[in-house]
A and B are shown apart, each in its own frame.
Chain A
Amino acid sequence: MMTSITPLSANKPHLVVVGNGMVGHHFVEQIIAQGGHELFHIIVFGEEPHLAYDRVHLSEYFTGKGAADLAMTDGSLYDDNGVRYFTNSLVTQIDRAAKLLVLKNGETLSYDKLVLATGSYPFVPPIPGHKRNNTFVYRTLEDLDAIRNCAKTVTRGTVVGGGLLGLEAANALKNLGLETSVVEFAPRLMPVQLDEKGGSVLKGMIEGLDVKVYTDTATQDIVDGETAFHRMNFADGTHLETDLILFSAGIRPQDALAKQSGLEAGERGGITINNHCQTSDEDIYSIGECALWNGRIYGLVAPGYTMAKAAVGHLLGTESVSFTGADMSTKLKLLGCDVGSVGDAHAQTQGSKVFVYQDEISQSYRKMVVSEDGKKLLGAVLVGDNSYYDTLLQYYLNAIDLPEQAQSLILPAMDGAPAALGVDALPATASICSCHNVSKQDISDAVCNGALSVGDVKGVTKAATGCGGCTALLKKVVDNELLALGVEVSTDICEHFTYTRQDLYNMVKIEEIKSFASLLEKHGKGHGCEICKPVVGSILASVWNDYVLKKEHISLQDTNDRFLANMQKDGTYSIVPRIPGGEITPDRLIVLGEVAKEYALYTKVTGGQRIDLFGATLAQLPEIWEKLISAGFETGQAYGKSLRTVKSCVGSTWCRYGVNDSMKMAIDLENRYKGLRSPHKIKFAVSGCTRECAEAQSKDIGVIATEGGWNLYVCGNGGMKPRHGDLFATDLDDETLVKYIDRVLMFYTKTADRLQRTSVWMDGLEGGLAYLKEVVINDKLGLCDELEERMQHVVNTFQCEWKTTLEDPEALKTFRQFVNYEGVDTNVVFVEERNQMRPATDLEKQQLIAKAG
């Protein structure tokens, strides 16, 4: 007995999408963006329990990311646009004559147009014993859950397959703490992307990381082991004992449904499509890894996205894009090793010539394949250093004539930077971001329409928001376009200093400048303004950490720093005492209540787990602080561009899920970094487990407890432009965690622009997250000692600014409401609302005056 899924509306044709992986989801996104949901009733079936998630970053599931982080949609995009979706739903049959789909549970649905985005499945070689317990594949979140569970109880893991995905899986096993081996049938690793030499250099690098690599090795069977769960017997008579086996021997197109319904398919699998991604049945499209175009399967996400766009264009009749193949060049980091492959990496083109560079000391290998006349780049292989990749890729993709000394493109430059291709040499059609198919022309258009920064261009074009590999190139193109437009990209902070904030920081530090006056005298002109004064005030505080209301600094401080409180709209102030980690004793809580009552202050709990007292006049600030300090409070620096708060959960102290003492860590971090003046405000959070109740991933510095220590996230941002923090390092001990935070914060303080939050700083950092890791973890710039010393200086010289102020009669004088009169500002008027005071509105003030008059 078949039931059928009732459509929402009978008057629109049904467009059914089978498969909800990255490409299937991209198709839905694109068709909604172009208004296709108005024309079609769209229904989506996904076999997995989750809606689409980011499979490209699947391995991050083992390094702290949860299913929600990897999710590409929470379903709201579908719900808001009338797209119906069914997860855990396997389509088993297509009746093309009746235009009907049959699901595994027997339900049916009629379709008018059908899109097959069924993806691929992992190929498991039919080795006897391949179905034993403790054998896995690496494709879905469920696979990873199973691997993780197994890894908890065993010590040795082996990956069968030394290709791209196999090495990524090996890295995952290593991260799970297993002794890891890789077994590859071919004579070298990554046989598709690398040549023999490149493969052997990579093998050496990976073995240097304690991963055993067996190439040219065929597994005959898998049986019970003697010292481990399995024994893998090899064709050459040797064997390997291992507890867990992960098959990663390639992918096969998921084309069973298409074959069952008689759609044309390739001999070795794949659903045959044309340039519009139509199959042999014009009402059925196929996109992604299940599709076969011109005899090729494209196992990368970018071509799949292009197919999705082509199918959408054809369905809606706009035909804006067609699919005519894709470049399979790729650059990645495998087990921390740079690997890149461009075009004809194996020099199979007739008459091609090769340049090779190898450096056995730094373990790097580079090869260029050029045309017979030496004019064009046909392909390249890179192992050990991907900084050459962007330039080579552009030469290849755009068939740009090679320079006179073509080999310079892979030779190490004498100044340490590889020869870069001037971006003005790129044609307008050059693809800058292949994930989102953004050309140089698109970027140029965005700049012409007013996007004047890398951040703006990212927002408008989506360039560099996919894998992020093109960030550096994007920045070059944007700068170049601005230059071409004659937009002067002035980095001067104001008319008084023709320098960047970073320049000023360096001058202050290196020349040991201690005041605004002497910096202005040496390097500036005029008398300063509200731009440069606070910047220099902040830099002086970051470097020397003087009391900010010192005579020579007081006139530099902006609105809130000037009076160590937060000015509100009526000119009164709010006060935020520090409550480290949000932990407060009942006695202190009572003090806050009593002080607030005495001065009739409006009280509110802030988002940062502190208490804000509003409505204090200038003259009341010292009195109130006198009381707070004697009760043991200190300033919370809510007024400063400095550390505000470290949000926390109660962690293992109270919570039944907590795996570490997040409360103590939050308090320690807050006490360490309080008082650091930085380019902008900084917020932290510490969560005691992966449930992430403290929302650490939305903070500048986020710390999440794991079974193995702490995961550190950096450069997140709530506020106007939310940005999730990037996972920076995993399973750190307390000491390393603090060390890394010291370095990240000080590097930010040293190099960021004025009023630039860490998230924007990170987005503009050439080389992005990878570069920051190089600087902070591997000490690429040799700065780490200095960064730590500077931070230690700030920590050692902390003072409660309010305590200092109360002891300084000169500073206290500036808190008088009037210099010659003891009265109050009669324009400050409060009315009562919800049992507390609030500022009166203009209208209320007029009514009160009329009454009084």
Chain B
Amino acid sequence: MTMQWKLVCKQSDLVVDAGVAAMVNGEQIALFYVPESENKVFAIGNWDPIGKANVLSRGLVAHLQDEWVVASPLYKQHFVLSSGRCLEEDINVPHWSAKLEGDGIYVACN
């Protein structure tokens, strides 16, 4: 299995300091564009396992305890953008490596 960078969309499809949803290999991904972060873009699953709906891309981006996180729009739990770890509950959402190259947004997948 080799990881491949897949072009998902353009930088202009993203919203600064917020998320959008994308479909990659039949899976819903939440893409976040945070210009002030080292990595600039992040990709985690769009499924909120606590609220049980595909909504994480519509959460508010926050910076807490030195981590970039998103607060779920349903019940406000925080998920770390770089790892998918939930700060409040012992639960993780999937995460993918992502990068901004030129004006393209790439996500690493199998």
Closest A residue to B51 by beta carbon equals A569
Cα A276 to Cα B10 with chains together (Å):
84
* Across-interface contacts of B31 in A (CB, < 8 A): 819
Known contacts A530-B60, A530-B71, A813 near B18 by CB under 8 Å: no
* Across-interface contacts of B28 in A (CB, < 8 A): 818, 825
Decide: B71 and A569 in contact? CB cutoff 8 A. Answer: no
Interface residues of A (CB under 8 A from B): 495-496, 526-530, 533-534, 551, 554-555, 557-559, 562-563, 567, 569-571, 618, 813-814, 816-821, 823, 825, 827-828, 842
6 A-B pairs with least C-beta separation: A529-B62, A555-B17, A527-B63, A571-B53, A559-B73, A821-B23
Closest B residue to A529 by beta carbon equals B62
Decide: A567 and B8 in contact? CB cutoff 8 A. Answer: no
Decide: A842 and B9 in contact? CB cutoff 8 A. Answer: no
Cα A529 to Cα B61 with chains together (Å):
7
Interface of A, helix, strand, loop or mixed by DSSP: loop
Cα A143 to Cα B31 with chains together (Å):
72
Kindly provide the distance from the CB of B48 to the nearest chain A CB, expressed in whole angstroms: 8
Decide: A819 and B76 in contact? CB cutoff 8 A. Answer: no
- The answer to whether the Cβ of B91 comes within 8 Å of any Cβ in the partner chain is no
Closest B residue to A618 by beta carbon equals B58
Closest B residue to A570 by beta carbon equals B53
* Across-interface contacts of B16 in A (CB, < 8 A): 551, 554-555
Q: Give which listed residue, B21, B36, B61, B71, contacts A818 with CB less than 8 A.
A: B21
Decide: B23 and A823 in contact? CB cutoff 8 A. Answer: yes
Interface residues of B (CB under 8 A from A): 8-9, 13-18, 20-24, 28, 31, 36, 47, 51-55, 58-64, 68, 71, 73-74, 76
**21 A–B pairs (Cβ distance < 8 Å), ordered by A:** A495-B64, A529-B60, A529-B62, A530-B59, A533-B60, A534-B60, A551-B16, A555-B15, A555-B61, A559-B73, A562-B18, A562-B58, A562-B73, A569-B52, A569-B74, A817-B21, A818-B20, A818-B23, A820-B9, A821-B23, A823-B23
* Across-interface contacts of A526 in B (CB, < 8 A): 63
* Across-interface contacts of A528 in B (CB, < 8 A): 62-63
Decide: B63 and A827 in contact? CB cutoff 8 A. Answer: no
Q: Give which listed residue, A551, A555, A813, A842, contacts B13 with CB less than 8 A.
A: A813
Decide: B21 and A819 in contact? CB cutoff 8 A. Answer: yes
Closest A residue to B17 by beta carbon equals A555
Decide: A827 and B53 in contact? CB cutoff 8 A. Answer: yes
Q: Give which listed residue, A559, A814, A842, contacts B15 with CB less than 8 A.
A: A814
Most chain A beta carbons < 10 A, residue from B59, B64, B76? B64
* Across-interface contacts of B13 in A (CB, < 8 A): 813, 819-820
Cα A571 to Cα B46 with chains together (Å):
11
Decide: B62 and A816 in contact? CB cutoff 8 A. Answer: no
Decide: A530 and B21 in contact? CB cutoff 8 A. Answer: no
Cα A551 to Cα B16 with chains together (Å):
8
Decide: B64 and A571 in contact? CB cutoff 8 A. Answer: no
Closest B residue to A572 by beta carbon equals B53
Kindly provide the distance from the CB of B14 to the nearest chain A CB, expressed in whole angstroms: 8
Decide: B55 and A567 in contact? CB cutoff 8 A. Answer: yes
Decide: B62 and A533 in contact? CB cutoff 8 A. Answer: yes
Most chain B beta carbons < 10 A, residue from A495, A530, A819? A819
Decide: B54 and A820 in contact? CB cutoff 8 A. Answer: no
> Apart from A554-B16, A818-B22, A825-B54, what are 18 other A-B pairs with CB-CB below 8 Å?
A529-B62, A529-B63, A529-B71, A533-B62, A554-B15, A554-B18, A559-B58, A567-B58, A567-B74, A618-B58, A813-B13, A816-B20, A819-B31, A820-B13, A820-B24, A821-B23, A825-B28, A827-B54
Closest B residue to A563 by beta carbon equals B58
Kindly provide the distance from the CB of B50 to the nearest chain A CB, expressed in whole angstroms: 12
* Across-interface contacts of A558 in B (CB, < 8 A): 60, 73
* Across-interface contacts of A496 in B (CB, < 8 A): 63
